[in-house]
Amino acid sequence: MDDEEKIARGVARGIARHEAARADAQGRQLLGCLLMIAIFGVGFILLIRYGG
């Protein structure tokens, strides 16, 4: 195995790690957004039901 193959393999590994981390961050962001929408939805329902 020559140096070019090692470098190419290392670059591919780095790109794969980066993509996995980015996908994980996007998943967490989506869950956070859904949680906020759920909290606002429940708050709105409670406001309509028991408010004013």
d(CA 16, CA 51) in angstroms, rounded, equals 51
Q: Give me the phi and psi of 24, to 5 degrees please.
A: -65, -45
d(CA 36, CA 41) in angstroms, rounded, equals 8
pLDDT tens-digit map of 25-44: 999 999 999 999 999 999 99
Straight-line distance from the first to the last Cα atom of the chain, in angstroms, rounded to the nearest whole number: 75
pTM: 0.66
Mean pLDDT, residues 3-14 taken together = 94
> Which residues, other chains included, contact 37 with Cβ-Cβ below 8 Å and sequence gap of 6+?
none
% residues pLDDT > 90 (the chain): 90
